[in-house]
Amino acid sequence: MQRENYYIILELSVDPPENDREVIEKAIQNKKIEWSRLRNHPTKGLQIQKYINMIPDIQFVMQDDKLRAEEALAAAEFIESGRENKISEIDSHIDILMGKGYISKEDIIRLAEIHGLSQGDINERIASKKNAKYVRVDQFINLRMGKGYISEDEVIKIAKKNGMTPEEIRNRIRCPIVKDDKDIDHLKIQPLDKSIEKAITDNLKVVGKTSLYNFLGLAETCELKQLQEKAGKKKKELATIGKKDAVLTASVTLAGQCQTIFKTNETRIAYDVSLARAKLAALDSDINIAAINKKIRHEYFDALINKAMEYGMDKDEASSYIQTYCQNKKYRIEKKPEKKRFRLMIAAASVLLVLIIVAGFMAFSKIHHRNVIESEYQDLIKKVDAERAPDQKLLLLKKYVTTNANSEYAADARNRISQIELQINSTEFGKILQQADQLVQAQKLDEGFTLLNQALEKTSEPENKKIISQRIKNVSELIEKRDFEELSAVSLKGDADQKIEIYKKYLTTHPNGKNKAEVQALIDKMSDEYFIYVSKTLASYEQSEQWEDCARLCQSYIDIYDNSHSDQLKQLIPKYQENIRNEKIYDALVDKVNRLGTDYKAAIQIFKDYLAAYPKTSITEKINKNIDRLNGLMSVQNSNQAAYNLRLQFAKTKGRFVEKPEGVIVDTKTGLMWCMLDSTIIKPGVCFTYEEGKSYTEVLTTGGFSDWRLPTPQELAEIYKTDPAFPATGKTSYWTSESYSGYSDGWQIQVTTFSSEDSIHWETAKKNALECGVVRPVRNP
Amino acid sequence: MAEQTKRIFGIDLGTTYSSIAYVDEYGKAVIIPNAENERVTPSVVFFDDESIVVGDVAKESSKLYPNEVVSFVKRSMGEPNFLFLHNSEEYRAEEISAYILKKLAQDAEQFLGEKVTDVVITCPAYFGINEREATRKAGEIAGFNVRHIINEPTAAAIAYGSLDSNDERVVLVYDLGGGTFDITMIDIRKDSVEVICTGGDHNLGGKDWDDRIVAHMVELFQSETGTDEDILDDPDTWQDLQLSAEKAKKILSQRPKTPISVTHGGERVKMVISREKFEEITEDLMERTIDFTKEMLEEAKNKGYKSFDEFILVGGATRMPQIKARIEETFSVNPKVYDPDEAVAKGAAIYGWKLGLNDGLIQRLSQKTNKPIEQIDDISVMIESNELSAQDFKEAAQEVADATGYTLPSIERSMLKVKNVTSKSFGVVAHTPQDDEIVFNIVLRNTTVPISLKKNFYTAVQDQKTVLIRIMESETSRVEIPLDHAVEIKTAVLNLPPNLPADLPIEITFTLNEEGRLHITAMEKTAARQIDVMVDTASVIQGEDLERAKARSQNLVVH
């Protein structure tokens, strides 16, 4: 690891470097004093010790003229690189503040304060941050510049994809923009001469640069004038260098080329186009490899499209680029085979033939029955004409059609039916329109819209359809207007999620809405703000373990945006899915445990087995809580059993010890009231130090009493060293209320205990308060 | 008290607390309380304008005058670049430690009504050569005749062994003090206390546990107030928290939780720290002591000690319950907490007392045998080799017993042998055949001291004027190690006589005495000429600085 710089540690001036030995010696002495004082600092002590250990080397380096000069140089470099490191931190702060859509003057002042920089520095950073956003955009532009021009369609696509306006994109394009691909004929794109291009590329290789822009140290988007100035300056600089080696020669040549290339906008465009083409060279080479015998198999074509999409093209662009390239190269692209078509045609023809034969046969049998049916039909028509109500007429005719569907007169009957229906419909149609208009007037636009749509479905009359469609169009325009107004209101005041929700809803309801572009722009602008909202909400969902909501929220962002934030969120989803799976496992475990009823031991084992197999998952904590809960239930179970056994023993004390109320034993001789169960039964296996024992007693509410205390040694003797005695089980050591401090500084406390090895012989003993003991609480009546 | 047995006091010069003890007329080691009637004195020095205050008052003053108070100075012993500035006067660690020693001695003098002149001072077993040297120098600056520098675990073992002197056993002494940690295996026998192996870290102690509490309090303060200011940059707050943390640690050793309040910049935050949290944030420190213990046990195995009889805990910080629990869990033993604050000073006093009695014996034997005192050093060896008659010894012992009032067996047992080991390896910078610089270790750590080793150096050119030897200290048991794995502790310059030929052997003797301090002598073998050796140890106060510090200390009354 590189050591820290001594100029910086000693806080000496770097620019110009401090060289006065006396000043340096004084600085070292001051540091010695400062570090000696901080030597035992609780958090910085180690770092300070490291500095103290460095003093001999500091003295050595700073007293040597040559080493000191090197140190000063390194310090200057370090300060510069420190600035760069700081930049990423500042950038992240700027991102957050930009979330609201702009950066205020107050924000700049605050950032300057936090980072100890001038406001100018922060402004500079905001500007370059904006430039950084353009890197992605420039990549898209460059890719398309390869063909020598960019179309308006492409400009709009790029703008949309990057959340910028087409105007912003146009400003960054350094080649002609055409309205239509057809317009390119009039363009005279002069690509750079191949030999010049190669000479430039070769020289750049020698000096280790990637482009003339890179050689001059300027951005590809900078002004022509700037490029010209820099090229002139570079040439002058190079002329002063005495050492004439390959690098210098190449550099001088490049400087000259810069002056030529960056002379006019046309020459520059030519260079830019070549540069862009070079970027596409990788794809071209893939196409060449795929073209075996000047033919590209259809599977290869698909693979090439995928490859082109990786470079940043969309599917259509990719397909068109590859096709054009192949056309120029005279490569043939194989089409996908259509083997099944011929067989299908034969099958269809056969079916048609069969149908014709069947229809002929049917016609023949109809003629045969003609006379019989004629008179029946005439009777029916008379009946119909006599009927007044149109629906009754319909009923008669429909009945005839149903029973005589194959009759010669069925067609006439049907004709009559449709005429009557038309008559009915036109009356109803008028009613519906009237109803719809009323709804619209009452601002019940959605109901009106639904009604009209229903009517449209029912109507078969083309004229009516046209009328309804026009009405639907008008109503949807009104709805669009209303929705957009509502959306505009939300966009001013709403929260990020409300805004996104309403924007999305708008785009779904009005896929061709008048304000679609504007809404899309609003969505694009919100990428940072919505990300902040998503991050915050995720944090709260995580807190409450709403993993499905987490995954859904991430997905909702990813569905809308394709940027670095969405990449970040994509990485989170697997974690959430893992947690969702764990939750399901947890539910299954709980279910299994619940089925065990009061067999708590087995239930605990189920949880413990799971923890043994998966010791650290998102549900570990919950499982542990369950184990604690089950342990609690088990101890209640155990103490109930112990209480039952004890009651049998108290019954044999000839009335000396009586239970009253439940869980409390009254010593009828002294009147003292004792807890029936001691701490070993209530909390089996738990070590109670003296302090813990006291706390245990203080919070006890057995029998409804809250004044339980530790007994004195005498009180314990009174119940155990007597006959009949309080029932006891085996080796026990009870804490008593007698304690005293063992040391003047409070380090150690000694306690008197009342102990027995065999529950028959009892004695008092001293014990450290930190050891384990048992508590038998008592209270005065 | 007999005229010839001078009282030798034992001083435990600790990182956070110090104490002084002596052996009373019944042969029992007793701690002497300070002027404030406390048995231990905080090792804190407050430079109050013209006077110097040591102890409780100084510790309390650290809150108000943080820049005028020096604490934990023991951690900077042997540190050449430690410098404390007060009234434009510079003070080094040795001098500040001397003030603590002076305070202990002054209060003892007042209590006993007799002058404290001769002392045995303790230091961690894990101290290197320079730190030991610095400890001795601190005693000299305070104006004492420093009879011996003895290791703290050894002193504790002597005190422990003196309880029942007939029982022979191997004990592990786990000594976790305020600033240092030592783990030492000691073989206690009837007439000797022998250190088998030692390990540890002189930058690991109770203070590190305190520091963790401080850091935790800062974090809680920050989250409560929403500030991200490092409140420890304010010296007043730092000192305040440091003292609160020490108190909290002591309370947490007794109780499950403790309330603390932090006040800074007009804001006051109340917080509660639980023992569970405390143990969680200090677990790694605990683990480090366990690792050192395991390493030391491995080294002891190489010396044939595969087990031990007892595990004793010394040092105030061993009162933290997690220490005992963790040791029980790891080593399946029941460690004994043995007189954690006082065992070291008492052991040093017992050792001093035995030195005094031994002095008396030697003086009597010298009179009886007409041998000069310097010739009688190890009485038991001299009796075995018949240089002294058993009869003379018995008579001399009886006379000392009569004169001092102590029993004959205790006089006889005063010839207690203490065998020590070096805690670090030391060597010299040498050149490999490829001319790379490496460190060649002459004495490896855990070698029994005293030890003398000779090594030949050869002159490179004719009429060479000087030879420079760079002495390096390291913590490995390997013979050859890279240069950057060791620390340069001294340089020795041999001033050669004129006209020596090239390639002449010069024999250099490195002696580590029983205190673990290094002496170097050189001899040009062909002419058997002693060569002048100049040892330069910038790490320890010496020369003019030492004289100035002594003079300053003589005229100073410590409060």
Q: How is domain A118-183 classified at the CATH fold level?
A: Arc Repressor Mutant, subunit A (1.10.10)
Class of domain B206-281: alpha beta
Per-position pLDDT tens, chain B of length 559: 444 467 899 999 999 999 999 998 888 899 999 999 999 999 999 998 778 999 999 999 988 898 899 999 999 998 888 989 998 888 999 999 999 999 999 999 999 999 999 999 999 988 888 899 899 999 999 999 999 999 999 999 888 877 655 678 899 999 999 998 999 999 988 778 889 999 888 788 999 999 999 999 998 898 888 777 889 989 889 999 999 999 999 999 888 999 999 999 888 999 999 999 999 888 888 988 998 999 899 989 988 999 999 999 999 899 999 999 999 999 999 998 888 889 999 999 999 998 888 888 888 888 888 888 877 777 777 877 778 888 888 888 888 888 887 878 777 777 777 888 888 888 888 777 666 788 888 888 888 888 988 887 777 777 888 888 888 888 888 888 888 788 888 888 888 888 888 777 788 888 888 877 888 888 887 777 777 777 767 677 777 888 888 888 877 777 7
The answer to whether A749 and A667 are in contact (CB under 8 A) is no
Q: What is residue B347's predicted lDDT score, i.e. its pLDDT?
A: 93
Q: Once rounded to an integer, what is the mean pLDDT over residues A667-694?
A: 86
The answer to whether B20 and B31 are in contact (CB under 8 A) is yes
Q: Does A644 touch chain B (CB under 8 A)?
A: no
Shortest Cα distance, chain B CAs vs residue A756, angstroms:
22
Binned at pLDDT 50, 70 and 90, residue A272 comes out as: confident
Q: What is residue A364's predicted lDDT score, i.e. its pLDDT?
A: 55
Q: Do A43 and B250 touch (CB under 8 A)?
A: no
Report how far apart, in Å, the C-alpha atoms of A730 and of each of A714, A762, A765 are: 20, 11, 17
Question: What distance in Å separates the CA atoms of residue A675 and residue A691, rounded to the nearest whole number?
Answer: 19
Q: Do B232 and A37 touch (CB under 8 A)?
A: no
Of A2-6, A453-457, A732-736, least confident by mean pLDDT is A2-6
What predicted TM-score, i.e. pTM, was given to this entire model? 0.53
Tell me B76's DSSP state: G
Interface of B with A in 159-218 (CB under 8 A): 203, 207, 210-211, 214-215, 218
CB half-sphere exposure, A497, CA atoms < 13 A: 9
Report the mean per-residue pLDDT for chain A: 81
Q: Do A43 and B75 touch (CB under 8 A)?
A: no
Binned at pLDDT 50, 70 and 90, residue A363 comes out as: low
Q: Does B79 touch chain A (CB under 8 A)?
A: yes
Q: Does A40 touch chain B (CB under 8 A)?
A: yes
Using CA coordinates, name the residue in chain A closest to B240.
Answer: A42
pLDDT above 50: residue A657 = yes
The answer to whether B202 and B429 are in contact (CB under 8 A) is no
Written as six digits, the tokens of A268 are: 């520059």
Question: What distance in Å separates the CA atoms of residue B552 and residue B546, rounded to the nearest whole number?
Answer: 10
Binned at pLDDT 50, 70 and 90, residue A132 comes out as: low
Report how far apart, in Å, the C-alpha atoms of A726 and of each of A22, A574, A682, A758 are: 87, 62, 18, 14
Q: Where are the domains of chain B?
A: 8-163+342-347, 206-281, 351-417, 422-543
H or E segment to which residue B118 belongs: strand B118-123
Per CATH, the architecture of A494-582 is what?
Alpha Horseshoe (1.25)
Statement: B8-163+342-347 belongs to CATH 3.40.50.2000: no
H or E segment to which residue A172 belongs: helix A166-172
Q: What is residue A242's predicted lDDT score, i.e. its pLDDT?
A: 44
Whether omega before A727 lies within 30 degrees of 0, making that bond cis, reads no
Q: What is residue B2's predicted lDDT score, i.e. its pLDDT?
A: 42
pLDDT above 50: residue A7 = yes
Highest mean pLDDT among A280-289, A420-429, B218-227: B218-227
Q: Do B75 and A44 touch (CB under 8 A)?
A: no
DSSP assignment string, B363-425: HHHHHHHT--GGG---HHHHHHTTSS-HHHHHHHHHHHHHHH---HHHHHGGG-EEEEE-SSE
Query: Across the interface, which of B67, B83, B232 has its CB nearest the CB of A41?
Result: B232
Interface of B with A in 223-242 (CB under 8 A): 230, 232, 238, 241-242
- Taking Cα atoms as reference points, which of B150, B149, B157, B192 lies closest to residue B173? B157
Pairwise pLDDT comparison (A544 vs A296), residue with the higher score: A544
pLDDT above 60: residue A100 = no
Within 8 A of A36 by CB-CB distance, chain B residues are 76, 81-84
Question: What distance in Å separates the CA atoms of residue A684 and residue A349, rounded to the nearest whole number?
Answer: 90
Q: What is residue B174's predicted lDDT score, i.e. its pLDDT?
A: 95
Q: What is residue A323's predicted lDDT score, i.e. its pLDDT?
A: 86
Q: Which of B71, B81, B96, B201 to probe by mutation at the A interface, max A CB count within 10 Å?
A: B81
Exposed / middle / buried, residue B138 (Cβ in 10 Å: 0-12, 13-18, 19+): buried
Binned at pLDDT 50, 70 and 90, residue A553 comes out as: very high
Question: What distance in Å separates the CA atoms of residue A450 and residue A447, rounded to the nearest whole number?
Answer: 5
Q: Do A42 and B211 touch (CB under 8 A)?
A: yes
Q: What is residue A83's predicted lDDT score, i.e. its pLDDT?
A: 66
Residues 6+ apart with CB under 8 A from A265: A174, A224
| Degrees to nearest 5, angle at CA A265 with A264 and A269 | 125
- Taking Cα atoms as reference points, which of A64, A82, A75 lies closest to residue A21? A64
Question: What distance in Å separates the CA atoms of residue A287 and residue A276, rounded to the nearest whole number?
Answer: 17
Shortest Cα distance, chain A CAs vs residue B214, angstroms:
7
- B207-225 burial, b at 16+ Cβ within 10 Å, e below that, comes to bbbbbbbbbbbbebbeeeb
Question: What distance in Å separates the CA atoms of residue B60 and residue A204, rounded to the nearest whole number?
Answer: 72
Contacts 24+ apart (CB under 8 A), A456-459: A459/A425, A459/A429
Q: What is residue A243's predicted lDDT score, i.e. its pLDDT?
A: 46
Shortest Cα distance, chain B CAs vs residue A746, angstroms:
8
Question: What pLDDT, in 10s, does the model give residues A604-630?
Answer: 998 988 888 888 888 898 899 999 899
Using DSSP's 3-state secondary structure scheme, residue B269 falls into strand
Q: What is residue A464's predicted lDDT score, i.e. its pLDDT?
A: 82
Q: Which of B68, B76, B250, B254 to probe by mutation at the A interface, max A CB count within 10 Å?
A: B254
pLDDT above 80: residue A91 = no
pLDDT above 80: residue A574 = yes
Query: Across the interface, which of A36, A41, A746 has its CB nearest the CB of B250?
Result: A746
Tell me the residue type at A551. A
Paired strand residues for B455: B508
Question: What distance in Å separates the CA atoms of residue B28 and residue B21, rounded to the nearest whole number?
Answer: 10
Query: Across the interface, which of B39, B238, B254 has its CB nearest the CB of A769?
Result: B254
| Degrees to nearest 5, angle at CA A373 with A370 and A375 | 115
Percentage of residues of chain A with pLDDT beyond 70: 86
Of A311-325, A615-629, A715-729, least confident by mean pLDDT is A311-325
Q: What is residue B22's predicted lDDT score, i.e. its pLDDT?
A: 94
Give the dihedral of Cα atoms A302, A307, A310, A316; nearest 10 deg: -40
The answer to whether A566 and A554 are in contact (CB under 8 A) is no
pLDDT above 70: residue A711 = yes
Within 8 A of B319 by CB-CB distance, chain A residues are 747-748
Within 8 A of B79 by CB-CB distance, chain A residues are 52
Q: What is residue A190's predicted lDDT score, i.e. its pLDDT?
A: 65
Q: Do A44 and B82 touch (CB under 8 A)?
A: no
Query: Across the interface, which of B83, B214, B255 has its CB nearest the CB of A32?
Result: B83
Statement: A653-779 belongs to CATH 3.30.310: no
- Taking Cα atoms as reference points, which of A454, A397, A400, A386 lies closest to residue A420? A397
Paired strand residues for B23: B29
Question: What pLDDT, in 10s, does the model give residues A320-332?
Answer: 878 888 887 788 8
Q: Once rounded to an integer, what is the mean pLDDT over residues A731-747?
A: 69
pLDDT above 70: residue A181 = no
Q: Do A748 and B83 touch (CB under 8 A)?
A: no
Question: What distance in Å separates the CA atoms of residue A510 and residue A704, rounded to the nearest whole number?
Answer: 69
Q: Once rounded to an integer, what is the mean pLDDT over residues A186-206?
A: 71
Q: How many residues does chain A have?
A: 781
Tell me the residue type at B421. V
Within 8 A of B254 by CB-CB distance, chain A residues are 691, 746-749, 769-770
Q: Does A39 touch chain B (CB under 8 A)?
A: yes
Q: What is residue A194's predicted lDDT score, i.e. its pLDDT?
A: 66
Report how far apart, in Å, the C-alpha atoms of B394 and of each of A4, B361, B362, B366, B411 are: 68, 10, 12, 14, 10
Q: Does A740 touch chain B (CB under 8 A)?
A: no
Q: Do B82 and A691 touch (CB under 8 A)?
A: no
CATH fit for domain A190-277, picks 3.40.50, 1.10.287, 1.10.150, 1.25.40: 1.10.287
Binned at pLDDT 50, 70 and 90, residue A744 comes out as: very low
Q: Does B539 touch chain A (CB under 8 A)?
A: no
- Taking Cα atoms as reference points, which of B130, B234, B263, B151 lies closest to residue B196? B151
Q: Do B238 and A41 touch (CB under 8 A)?
A: yes
Question: What distance in Å separates the CA atoms of residue A424 and residue A431, rounded to the nearest whole number?
Answer: 11
pLDDT above 80: residue A670 = yes
What would you measure as the largest C-alpha separation in chain B, in angstroms? Answer: 82
Using CA coordinates, name the residue in chain A closest to B250.
Answer: A747
Question: What distance in Å separates the CA atoms of residue B249 and residue B176, rounded to the nearest whole number?
Answer: 14
Binned at pLDDT 50, 70 and 90, residue A746 comes out as: very low
- A314-329 burial, b at 16+ Cβ within 10 Å, e below that, comes to eeebbbebbeebbeee
Written as six digits, the tokens of B332 are: 């399946």
Highest mean pLDDT among A237-246, A450-459, A477-486, B532-541: A477-486
Residues 6+ apart with CB under 8 A from A122: A90, A94, A108, A111, A112, A115
CATH fit for domain B422-543, picks 1.20.120.520, 3.30.499.10, 2.60.34.10, 3.90.1300.10: 2.60.34.10
Q: What is residue A401's predicted lDDT score, i.e. its pLDDT?
A: 85
